[in-house]
Structures are given as structure tokens and as C-alpha cells.
Amino acid sequence: MSSANELVFAYRSLWKNRQLDVDDLSSLNEAIRDDLLDARTHPRARKSLHEKYVLAVERILESAVEHDHQLQLISLHTKKLRELIQNEGRNHS
């Protein structure tokens, strides 16, 4: 298992032209959440959670990030997606 710092560095390397305030596991999870929610995009142009998840996984797999880090980043994205879907279901109940 990689250290949190290695995962943070791996995630940052996915974004060449984006300023990210990601320096620990907590801020990494927040950045993943924001990415999946398409928070940096105008509300009318936002994609669905599932579309953003697929794009994120593709970006990770097409990157030069080490295979182990890729799997861990995909795992973090998957956990966050499930959490967001679960929360979305509660909000509509």
C-alpha cells in the first residue's frame, strides 16, 4: 500500500493545468468528490456522476501513474461514487 503522500502526488500528476490544494488524504477525498460532482463546471454543463466516474477512471488508466497507484486511485473514486449515490438516495427519500 502506498503512503498518502504518494497517492496525493499521483493524483496531482493527473492534472497538468489545474491548481489543486491537495496535500493529504482528506483533501484528496474532497478533490475526488468535487471532480465527481463536476463542481468546477457551470451547473448547466455538468455531467452525471457516472459520466464523471468513467472519465476519471479513463484518465487514471491512460496516465503514466504506477499501476499500484492507479488501482488505489480508482478504488478511492469508486468508494466516493458509492458514497455520493447513497447520499443522493437519502436526499430524495
Amino acid type, 7? L
Share of the chain above pLDDT 90, in %: 75
What pTM does this model have?
0.88
Q: Are 7 and 28 in contact (CB under 8 A)?
A: yes
Q: Are 34 and 20 in contact (CB under 8 A)?
A: no
- Which class for 37: exposed (0-12), middle (13-18), buried (19 or more C-beta within 10 A)? middle
The pLDDT tens digits for 2-33 are: 688 899 999 999 988 777 888 899 999 999 99
Cα 3 to Cα 89: distance, rounded to the nearest angstrom: 33
Q: Are 26 and 74 in contact (CB under 8 A)?
A: no
